[in-house]
């Protein structure tokens, strides 16, 4: 059986201002079993690329298909954990309420949650091992627990693709280890794309790495060397020094 890509990006470019391109001639394929890590310097276009995949931005040139359709048409198949989720931690909103927000887009105005919605929320919270805390206020949870709630919020859609933008920025080392184990479990049934600056950790878990600094180069994790990361991709010096393997393929 042919493994067809779930994301196909061809010759894509994007600029917020015409004279300053954020993305240049991006080409990328993501398959249903991929665990893709995206690395690169600040301002290199990582979050912008995610927004294009989500259909929140349109490319200026080139094309993108997600599940063989325009990104806007398949949002229900995509779970998203943004870098900053605007939730007031002092607001008396429960863990269960946060997770149910993940299906608000499927509801009409003033439509209440039904038994099936609650069942899906329970499944998502059990998956991240937080069902027992369903009635806790979100502000009472640790950083690691909140991050798992936000993942459950994305999983309630039963997505075929999960996208995460810098999800480990505010969690401790123990929670981070549990977090990566959780993503491995999710990757058994869904493709995962994660943006991270934590290069020393990301290479241990993903099976593909894309280095993005306006231009993008994607390889499996055993095809990379420090020298090429530095000379070809010009990533921040902080990304180096982890003993990373990184080699550019001949076709590039």
Residue 225 domain-assigned? Answer: yes
Residue 192 domain-assigned? Answer: yes
Identify the CATH number of the domain in which residue 185 sits: 3.40.50.300
- pLDDT, the chain, mean: 82
Which are the contacts of 245, defined by CB distance < 8 A and separation ≥ 6?
203, 221, 222, 223, 224, 225
Report, as an integer, the average pLDDT of 132-140. 90
Residue 252 domain-assigned? Answer: no
pLDDT at 106 (0 to 100):
65
Residue 130 domain-assigned? Answer: yes
161 - beta bridge partners?
A: 78, 191
pTM across the whole model: 0.83
Domain that holds residue 158: 5-246
Q: Is the model's pLDDT at 250 over the cut of 50?
A: no
Percent share of the chain, pLDDT over 90: 42
Residue 142 domain-assigned? Answer: yes
Q: Which residue has the higher pLDDT, 201 or 251?
A: 201
Q: What is the CA radius of gyration of the chain?
A: 19
Q: Which residue has the higher pLDDT, 129 or 197?
A: 129
Report, as an integer, the average pLDDT of 26-55. 92
Q: Which residue has the higher pLDDT, 219 or 23?
A: 23
Residue 153 domain-assigned? Answer: yes
pLDDT at 252 (0 to 100):
40
Q: Is the model's pLDDT at 236 over the cut of 50?
A: no
Percent share of the chain, pLDDT over 70: 79
pLDDT at 44 (0 to 100):
87
CA distance 124 to 7: 25
Report, as an integer, the average pLDDT of 77-87. 81
Residue 204 domain-assigned? Answer: yes
CA distance 95 to 209: 33
Q: How many domains does the chain have?
A: 1
Q: Which residue has the higher pLDDT, 232 or 58?
A: 58
Burial-class residue 55 by CB neighbours within 10 Å (0-12, 13-18, 19+): middle
Burial-class residue 247 by CB neighbours within 10 Å (0-12, 13-18, 19+): middle
Give the pLDDT band (50/70/90) at residue 103: confident
Residue 251 domain-assigned? Answer: no
């Amino acid at each position: 059986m042919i493994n067809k890509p779930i994301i196909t990006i061809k010759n894509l470019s994007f600029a917020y201002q015409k004279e300053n391109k954020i993305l240049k001639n991006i080409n990328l394929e993501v398959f249903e079993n991929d665990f893709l890590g995206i690395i690169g310097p600040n301002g290199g276009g990582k979050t912008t690329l995610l927004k294009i995949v989500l259909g929140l931005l349109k490319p200026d040139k080139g094309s993108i298909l997600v599940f063989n359709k325009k990104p806007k048409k398949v949002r229900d198949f995509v779970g998203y954990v943004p870098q900053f989720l605007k939730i007031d931690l002092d607001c008396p909103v429960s863990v269960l309420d946060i997770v149910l927000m993940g299906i608000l887009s499927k509801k009409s105005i003033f439509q209440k949650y039904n038994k099936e919605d609650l069942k899906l929320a329970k499944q998502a919270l059990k998956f991240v091992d937080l069902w027992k805390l369903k009635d806790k206020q979100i502000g009472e949870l640790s950083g690691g627990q909140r991050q798992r709630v936000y993942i459950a919020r994305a999983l309630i859609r039963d997505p075929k693709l999960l996208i995460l933008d810098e999800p480990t920025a505010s969690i401790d080392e123990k929670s981070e280890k549990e977090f990566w184990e959780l993503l491995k479990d999710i990757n058994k049934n869904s493709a995962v794309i994660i943006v991270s600056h934590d290069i020393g950790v990301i290479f241990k878990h993903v099976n593909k790495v894309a280095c993005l600094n306006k231009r993008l180069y994607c390889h499996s994790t055993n095809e990379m060397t420090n020298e090429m990361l530095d000379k070809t991709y010009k990533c921040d010096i902080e990304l180096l020094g982890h003993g990373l393997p990184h080699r550019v393929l001949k076709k590039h």
